Chains A and B, each alone.
Chain A
Amino acid sequence: GESVGLHLPTLSVQEGDNSIINCAYSNSASDYFIWYKQESGKGPQFIIDIRSNMDKRQGQRVTVLLNKTVKHLSLQIAATQPGDSAVYFCAENFQGAQKLVFGQGTRLTINP
């Protein structure tokens, strides 16, 4: 079946540095992608989304890049802060479907 996965299960970054979290997807029919942040004991928090007609989208300190040629999605977090430590999930929405398919998550740790 189709799946969304992450290249690295854990990532450690020095505070103030930039971080990049990667995600691969396999369904070329997916047309909507979301990144979520999940802190311990909390539900996933929406960070940023992107549609398949875009290659890049920027938010506050975050940028999502979509490479449809290689079916790759990434989340860039600039000037990381301790509060950025969390598990990050990518999710995809198949064209015409209603549910999101989530990857397994990457744990980001920001070192002081």
Chain B
Amino acid sequence: GAGVSQSPSNKVTEKGKDVELRCDPISGHTALYWYRQSLGQGLEFLIYFQGNSAPDKSGLPSDRFSAERTGGSVSTLTIQRTQQEDSAVYLCASSSQGGGQPQHFGDGTRLSIL
């Protein structure tokens, strides 16, 4: 079946603008994760959704970052008033359950802040 789909694949925007990144998880997966990957670095956890539970927002770097997951499926990561340090690849993953299960990743959105 289809994997995790992210859009756009690339986004270039000016400093101070807001951006929205979209993630379509694998159908039936209840858990959804957002990560950030800076150039040549590992993955930094941002936020986790599981079913109807309150999301784990412990990884969000500032209050400019927020995420929603509507209907238990599609998720949107929003970055307000973007800064140059927000430039990175934003990766979404989903899994059939929460912890202790493999997470399957999309190919990410490469965000560049000018």
A43 touches B105 (CB 8 A): yes
Q: Which residues 68-93 in B have Cβ within 8 Å of A in the complex?
A: 91, 93
Q: Considering the complex, which residues of chain A in the window 74-108 have a beta carbon less than 8 Å from any beta carbon of chain B?
A: 89, 91, 93-94, 96-105
> Bound state CA distance, A45 and B43, in angstroms?
13
Indicate if the CB atoms of A49 and B108 lie closer than 8 Å.
no
Closest residue to B102 on the A side, CB-wise?
A46
Q: Which residues of A contact B98 (CB under 8 A)?
A: 98
Write the nearest CB–CB distance from B107 to chain A, whole angstroms.
5
A97, B105: Cβ atoms under 8 Å? no
A105: chain B residues within 8 A (beta carbon): 41-42
Binary interface encoding of chain A residues 14-35 relative to chain B, with 1 for a CB under 8 A from any of its CBs, else 0: 0000000000000000011010
The chain B residue with its CB closest to the CB of A6 is: B42
Question: Which residues of the partner chain A approach B56 to less than 8 Å between Cβ atoms?
Answer: 98-99
In the assembled complex, which residues on chain B have CB atoms less than 8 Å from the CB atom of A94? 99
In Å, the complex CA distance between A101 and B45 comes to 8
How many residues on the B side are at the interface (Cβ–Cβ under 8 A)?
Answer: 23
Contact count band on A: 20 to 34
Q: Which of A31-55 contact B (CB under 8 A)?
A: 31-32, 34, 36, 41-46, 49, 51
Which residue of A has the minimal Cβ distance to B105?
A: A43
CB-CB under 8 A for A89 and B42, given A98-B48, A98-B56, A99-B56: yes
Question: Nearest chain B CB to A33's CB is how many angstroms away?
Answer: 10
Q: What is the 8 Å Cβ interface bit string for chain B, positions 92-113, against chain A (1 contact, 0 not)?
A: 0100001110111111100000
Q: Identify A44's interface contact among B59, B91, B99, B100, CB under 8 A.
A: B91
Q: State whether B107 touches A43 (Cβ < 8 A).
A: yes
- Most chain A CB within 10 A, of B31, B42, B99, is at B42
Considering the complex of A and B, which 10 residue pairs feature the smallest CB-CB distances, nearest first?
A43-B105, A102-B42, A102-B43, A98-B99, A98-B98, A99-B45, A43-B107, A104-B42, A32-B100, A46-B102
B interface residues with partner A (beta carbon < 8 Å): 4, 31, 33, 41-43, 45, 48, 50, 56, 59, 91, 93, 98-100, 102-108
Starting from the known contacts A98-B99, A100-B33, 16 additional A-B residue pairs (CB-CB under 8 Å) come to A31-B100, A32-B100, A43-B106, A44-B105, A45-B105, A46-B104, A89-B43, A91-B43, A93-B100, A94-B99, A98-B98, A99-B45, A99-B99, A100-B103, A103-B42, A104-B41
